[in-house]
Amino acid sequence: MHRLFAALLAATPCASIAQAQTAPPADAGATQPQVAAPAISGPAFTVDRALELAGVVSPALEAASADVRAAEAGRRVAGLRPNPTITVEAENVAGSGQYRGTQSLEATTSLALPLELGGKRSARIAVADARTDRATIQAAIAKADLRLSVIRAYAEAASAERRLVIARDQAHIAGEGRRAARVRVQAGRASPLEAERANVALVNAEAALVREERAVEVSRFTLSRIIGQPFAGPLDANWFDHVPATHGPLRPIDSTGTLMMAAANADFASADASVRLARSQRIPDLTLGAGARRFEQTNDTAAIFSLSIPIPLFNNGRAAVSQATAERQSADARRRLAAIDVDQAVAWAQAEAANAATNAAAASGPALAAAEEAARIARIGYREGKFGQLDLLDAERTLAQTRAAAVDALLSYHVAQAQLERLTARAPIIQGE
């Protein structure tokens, strides 16, 4: 019987699980351990609600929104033309001789208007537009990152609650095992060593229960910090247990239009616009001036016209063009590298999500059912004296490990699926494109 029981356990592949909260099947002559309900009660706090709350209080979204507004303001600044300059001059005044006082005063009032040449204004606008587009994409990236963080924190909190249920169940089972061991020892059917083993198993189960209670507190606190407020009620167990069936090969991978590629393209567009701006800066601007001069002695006036142009003697703009060109080449290389990285990351994320879904879908398969049946048989056999205590402890340990593996598989699936959604998130449509 012992060999048959061991073979049954060895044939049980470690799987995952939606039935992680299910207690072992009832037996007519056995005391059935009940799965304790979570200490947290009330309506379920859903992941959609968590996402909604996080979107309202997220500092990352607030910062991204401010960056977009700053970029839009920068676009308006880039479109402004240079301000004109009014100059008032007084000559031949407060001197000596005939220039004493204001009798020889010559007052000049002139207006100077800078004229930008070489398309500087349109080049500035192009750079500002590219930066605005990049800020818009970055805001979408911040939103996608926040969604990933919320789902990961929610899944970790849900898995902690599920492990707490398992830990309570195991502590209850360990208590029942200690009572059964004491009965056997008192009846002279077992040595006192069995009672001590049962005590050790109970102590370990209670310690594990305390650890899982702390894990629940920490995971719920972490989620509450992300959403900006504490929340009541258990998490949505249906969401945590839901795993779609996955069949067939992985979906075709196309990084075009994803947030990562949109960001890389926006960086290149900004660098390209900067090259155009650097080239336009090489063309000197003109400053036109016009004014009037009044002569105090004769009370006559005369018009004044001026034209000034800087001489590009020391800085002709070539270095700035070389710098901008190198930065554009770097941005282009990073864009091509991003395409490779995104494709690889999506492929791995698809594989991880599919593998986790396959493991999680095995919850209703033979692994968990076999572990539960083995534990049930071991409990009955132990009470009837057909199995030893070590067989019982081994069966209970296998059941606990199978349930824990089930929770791990569900957690891995939700995290992998969230990561896949983050990688394949589509970029927003930029106005003007």
What pLDDT was estimated at residue 17?
A: 33
Q: What is the DSSP letter of 73?
A: H
Q: What is the pLDDT of residues 351-386, one digit of tens each?
A: 888 888 888 877 656 677 888 888 888 878 877 777
Integer angstrom CA distances of residue 175 from 88, 199, 373? 98, 8, 20
CATH number of the domain located at residue range(s) 2-81+121-282+320-423 in this protein: 1.20.1600.10
H/E stretch holding 202 reads helix 192-227
Is the CB of residue 240 less than 8 Å from the CB of residue 48?
no
Distance between CA atoms of 337 and 261, rounded to whole angstroms?
Answer: 10
260 or 99, which is more confident: 260
Q: Tell me, which fold does domain 82-115+283-316 have in CATH?
A: Outer membrane efflux proteins (OEP) (2.20.200)
What pLDDT was estimated at residue 143?
A: 96
Same fold yes or no, 2-81+121-282+320-423 and 82-115+283-316: no
H/E stretch holding 78 reads helix 59-78
Residue that is written with structure tokens 């957690």 in the block:
411
Q: What is the DSSP letter of 118?
A: S
Distance between CA atoms of 22 and 332, rounded to whole angstroms?
Answer: 55
Is the CB of residue 163 less than 8 Å from the CB of residue 400?
no
Residue 27 reports pLDDT greater than 80: no
Secondary-structure breakdown of the chain: helix, strand, coil percentages, each rounded to the nearest 5: 65, 10, 25
For residue 378, the tally of other CB atoms under 10 A from its CB is 27
What's the half-sphere exposure (Cβ side, CA atoms, 13 Å) at 338?
A: 21
Residue 129 reports pLDDT greater than 90: yes
Q: What is the pLDDT of residues 31-89, one digit of tens each?
A: 333 333 345 556 889 999 999 999 999 999 999 999 999 999 999 999 999 999 999 98
What pLDDT was estimated at residue 359?
A: 83
Distance between CA atoms of 385 and 375, rounded to whole angstroms?
Answer: 15
Sign of the CA dihedral 19, 204, 30, 35? negative
Domain boundaries, the chain: 2-81+121-282+320-423, 82-115+283-316
What's the half-sphere exposure (Cβ side, CA atoms, 13 Å) at 149?
A: 19
pLDDT band at residue 174 under the 50/70/90 scheme: confident
